[in-house]
Chains A and B, each alone.
Chain A
Amino acid sequence: MTPEDAPIAMAGVAGDAAKFISNQLADRAESSSHRIRIIGPPAFSFGTVFAGLRGLVQYSDLLYALSFFRLNIRYKQSILGWAWAALQPLALMGIYTFVFAHVAKVNTGGAPYSIFVFAGLLPWIFFSSSITNAVHGIVAYPGLFTKMYFPREIIPLSYLAPAVSDFLIASVILAGMLAYHRIGPTWTLLYGIPILVILGGFATAISLFLAAVHVRFRDVGLVLPFVLQVWMFATPVVYSLQAVPARLRTIYLLDPVAVAIDGFRGAVIYGRAPDARMLAVVGAAMIVCLALAYAYFKSAEATMADVI
């Protein structure tokens, strides 16, 4: 019996599917725009960065859809809903204000401590929560990895959207607090945007790198909260950079996150423009880190489905 003899019963979904797909195939045969893809062994190279970016553009709609989806389900089935985006930094602000304004005094350069710490907590939470979510998110749906292909970096990248939205919601509170304390907005506020882009870039680079490692070694997810906690206290979030001894300050500024957070607070509260050269150097470092992390992610991506 040859396949031509096979009885073809066109019935129900499957039969219609055949008809449908065959029509589509006929259409395509005419247009005939055939892409050729070559799949080889995974390798670490910067060529993968460009190829990866092309793929990312092709799948950009998936990134939008997933980002939207994260926003959509983030506060689902919680009574307070979106208020949580502001509640978490507010609660932390309360604790740190109690400790550092009443128990141990911190020099804030004239601003109320609550505003001072809130302006530092917002970028820090943006940074740390996007990393935490990305690292845990990549292993949340192993079924997706083993059943279908799409550029895997879309999963960690999609967690940037809720971090940004939380930041924006909490910013409204910050704006209200600034207005209450009559700390007028100045044009230096605009520096907040490039600073946040740089911070987001670093968060993405670290997310990509750690997520790729986390797929293989779950130790990353276990040690991450501790590392982020230490990092926060090594960064001028709850205290000011001026409070750091001068000889240590250079070492402090090797940490781009410290530069970004100090710069953000300076621009928002004190109307102080950040050092443009410093910002350019940190921005360039961010791009290099992002490229390295992305190349590493792409080289690890090929076998993620095997080890997840």
Chain B
Amino acid sequence: MIDLMLDRVYKKYTLRSKDNGPKRWYRGFVKRPVEMWALQNVSFEVKHGEALGIIGHNGAGKTTILKLLSSITAPTHGQITIRGRLAALIEVGSGFHPELTGRENVYLHGAMLGMRRSEIMRKMDGIIDFSGVEKYIDEPVKRYSSGMYVRLGFSVAAHLEPDIVLLDEVLAVGDVAFQTKCLDRISELRKNGGTIVFVSHDLASIYRVCDRAILLDRGRVLTDGPPRVVVDMYQKLAFGDHESLAESQLDPGKAAECLSIAFSGPDPVHAIRTGYPMVARLGYRTATAIPNAIFRISIYWPSGYLCAQLSNESSGFGLTLEPGHGEITFECPVLPIQPGLYRVDLVIESEGREVDSRQHCATLCVEAGKSAMGDFYIENLCSVRRYSH
């Protein structure tokens, strides 16, 4: 059963820019339309119970797809087929009116989402109970805290009984606890046969939630397949494989630059696994000699907290770099971090000053190896001595 189908969908936006045509007296008044194709020939299907992730750079067309699916806007060409009730959890609570009380807003917001009054009345107690704002439900929502706002909006949307759920990363913008809860919620939804379309920059959550992903680039579908393949492809697009993208990123003003980062397991056959060796290779380029250079590879949890850092500072030697290309290698005999997808930042420092810094430029995918509970695997030698009687 197919729940969602996009058939050769195109979407054109017309931007009006200041006229750059011939100089005429009316030049200030007339704005020349500039066509921008947000989506070009996009086709895909989502089966019932499937969780599809959509990834891509800013402006790749992710939000446009969500807007098309939720009927906010219509395609320029092509056709979209939707089977069942669709709930878009995009910016929950955005339909609230500040002057109305919480209860009135539940009616209004529910009606905007397509619920009947009788349906809302039936679910009212559940919605209020759920939101945890029952004490203030008859106060105008302008007196609510932003957390209460989101919870109430979320609660209404959650009672919509959807067949298909659209999720934007906007939902995951909240605090870390909320973000984690969202991801858990999606996993749970999926287990119960709900169809999900999930749009995110956060590769870790795509990896965790979705069983299929598509990669969008400038309005076209580049890849459609298992998340692992698609995420790999995206990373290559994002930071460049090796030399290919490095050339375009050369910035003559910088004294030194990170060119590439690659993580690998103990040998070409094995992936990076918890409790096994890992090698990180950082390619760089320097324009001038750099004294006392320090490289840092920061590894972040999906939640955004710093998990660990690799740096030559801790090894106790500052590097003096000669102009040219080079590579610094970090070898970890035992990788302590748990399976998952981590975000990576790169920094080059010299004499306490930042020379180059790259945020979110790569991801580190760690697979299950030696298992341990907790945040880290601690390499240990275990021995038993028996005291005999």
Contact = CB atoms under 8 A, between A and B. Distances in A.
A39 interface: yes
Interface residues of B, number: 77
A18 B95 contact: no
Interface residues of A, number: 57
A22 B194 contact: yes
Residue with the highest number of chain A CB atoms closer than 10 Å, among B77, B182, B184: B184
B201 interface: no
B191 to A, nearest CB: 7
A62 B112 contact: yes
Mostly helix, strand, loop or mixed at chain B's interface? mixed
Contacts of B104: 69
B113 A1 contact: no
A25 B116 CA distance: 18
Nearest to A149: B71
A1 B189 contact: no
A53 to B, nearest CB: 16
Interface string B86-115: 001011001101011000100110011111
A34 B107 CA distance: 24
B151 interface: yes
Closest 6 CB pairs of A and B: A14-B181, A302-B74, A18-B188, A22-B192, A62-B111, A18-B185
A144 B90 CA distance: 12
B185 A3 contact: no
B283 interface: no
A272 B261 CA distance: 90
B348 interface: no
A143 B94 contact: yes
Given A61-B117, A62-B112, A65-B117, A14 B184 contact: yes
Given A11-B181, A14-B185, A39-B74, A148 B80 contact: no
Contacts of B71: 37, 39, 149
Given A1-B368, A37-B82, A62-B112, A14 B178 contact: yes
B159 interface: yes
B207 to A, nearest CB: 7
Contacts of B186: 18
B70 interface: yes
B84 A29 contact: no
Contacts of B188: 8, 10, 15, 18-19, 21-22
A3 B73 contact: no
A51 B368 CA distance: 53
Given A9-B180, A13-B154, A302-B74, A69 B368 contact: no
Nearest to A1: B339
Interface of B: 13, 51, 67-68, 70-85, 88, 90-91, 94-95, 97, 99-100, 104, 107-108, 111-117, 126, 130-132, 151, 154-155, 158-159, 161-163, 165, 177-178, 180-194, 207-211, 339-340, 367-368
B72 A8 contact: no
Specify which of A10, A27, A28 lies most central, judged by the most chain B CB atoms within 10 Å of its CB. A28
Contacts of A6: 183-184, 187, 208-209
Given A13-B154, A18-B184, A65-B108, A40 B75 contact: yes
B73 A147 contact: no
B72 A145 contact: yes
Contacts of A64: 117
A295 to B, nearest CB: 15
A17 B99 contact: no
A186 interface: no
